[in-house]
Structure 1
């Protein structure tokens, strides 16, 4: 089986198991069916199933217990499906995964290389998100422009090319996580903005390591907030 085909099949199985978890077919703290049963149910090979289960473990939805099998440890809020179809969830999660390293390094370089004009632009983008939050706007475009401004401040066109090429995928993830935050509480939105502020302050201070860590933490948190729903 070609690697691309295996990846695609694993994504499809990931989404089917995720949907079953969301719908309560596989309850929290209960054991999943055996690998043999899952392979038969979803008509895939063990390697494909194990790839799908590995992703569910990375997303902290499933855990393996030696000698006992795999157990569901978290049920995402069904509100997730209001902002993204189940068919796109795997791609959104993998996009967050990819962005973590790319944007964290871009933030590191931005702290070291940014001009005053670029720093001013990052601050403006931050303030615009603040204003959007006060209006309870979704602000997906504003959030994307904030992240793009930081990438541009890295002064390396390869990072900018990657960010722009992933424009739609990045916004899809932001639309989901920001939508859930709006449904949750003002505190959730403020927490996300505090994460943005930590990045801005590190870049302002020209502290590359702190900027890198702050960006990595922010994107990792966003990835996990995706399955926290509105709670």
Structure 2
């Protein structure tokens, strides 16, 4: 019983960390803004004080927030020099996108395999909902890249491994900055292919086929890499 209780608390902590990280990276909680108080979060989310404090500790460790004694917890400037997740790392548009995808290949392929073994029915449902949103958006929509990454972040969450979740959440901030500078990689011409690739990833996860999940994620990211490389060559002409 203790193990079940502990696992549930960890899952709730991870969900809170992911949600707040997304809000910070999306600018919904901009640098300098004050986070809701501990009491407000407990009431709104129905979690314990322990969950809130563990989540805040994680966010502090990741350099996303800082607690000022007697005042509250505030979002720090995520674009500070030296931070992994800052947009200042983005210098070459599509060229930097290739470097980001190399990192994603090293992280997300294995994350997909682990997620296939650990995803709960509730997590698969959340992943399905995120995928439906991503598939429905026009590639030129400003929210398209963010919706795509929400799907990938849901996969990371299914691993139950906080290091995968944190790393991929941080990669997301850099990725979105790259897309903003380089322009959309998905076009009307390749949209159907991208949708099919993502559906293949989800199908493998849903049937809990770890090897197929790894293979489909690798194929998807390699194809993204090729599309970005084509965009890079076009830009250079």
TM-score normalised by the shorter chain: which range applies? 0.5 to 0.7
Whole-angstrom CA distance in 1 between matches of 2:204 and 2:155: 11
Superposition RMSD on alpha carbons, in Å? Answer: 2.4
What stretches of structure 2 of length at least 5 have no aligned partner? Answer: 1-89
Whole-angstrom CA distance in 2 between matches of 1:153 and 1:131: 23
Q: CA deviation at 1:101?
A: 1.9
User: Do structure 1's residue 91 and structure 2's residue 96 form an aligned pair?
Assistant: yes
Call closer, same or farther: CA 1:123–1:174 in 2, change over 3 Å: farther
TM-score by length of 2: 0.55
Whole-angstrom CA distance in 2 between matches of 1:205 and 1:177: 36
Q: Secondary structure at the match of 1:87?
A: coil
Equivalent residue, structure 1, for 2:119: 114
Equivalent residue, structure 1, for 2:133: 128
Equivalent residue, structure 2, for 1:179: 184
Whole-angstrom CA distance in 2 between matches of 1:201 and 1:90: 31
Whole-angstrom CA distance in 2 between matches of 1:127 and 1:144: 13
Q: Superposition pairs for residues 80-229 of structure 1, below 5 Å?
A: 87-133=92-138, 137-138=141-142, 139-175=144-180, 179-182=184-187, 186-229=188-231
Q: Secondary structure at the match of 1:206?
A: coil
Q: CA deviation at 1:169?
A: 1.5
Residues 104-145 of structure 1 show CA distances to partners (whole Å, capped at 9, x for unaligned) of 000001100000000001100110012213x85241110110
Q: How many residues align?
A: 143
Call closer, same or farther: CA 1:87–1:131 in 2, change over 3 Å: closer
Call closer, same or farther: CA 1:121–1:174 in 2, change over 3 Å: farther
Call closer, same or farther: CA 1:150–1:178 in 2, change over 3 Å: farther
Equivalent residue, structure 1, for 2:8: none
Q: CA deviation at 1:86?
A: 6.4
Whole-angstrom CA distance in 2 between matches of 1:92 and 1:143: 15
Call closer, same or farther: CA 1:117–1:217 in 2, change over 3 Å: same
Q: CA deviation at 1:170?
A: 2.1
Equivalent residue, structure 2, for 1:57: none
Whole-angstrom CA distance in 2 between matches of 1:160 and 1:222: 21
Q: Secondary structure at the match of 1:179?
A: coil
Asked whether the equivalents of residues 116 and 209 of structure 2 are also in contact (C-alpha less than 8 Å), the reply is: yes
Q: Secondary structure at the match of 1:229?
A: helix
Whole-angstrom CA distance in 1 between matches of 2:161 and 2:205: 16
Call closer, same or farther: CA 1:173–1:88 in 2, change over 3 Å: closer
What stretches of structure 1 of length at least 5 have no aligned partner? Answer: 1-84
Call closer, same or farther: CA 1:90–1:127 in 2, change over 3 Å: same
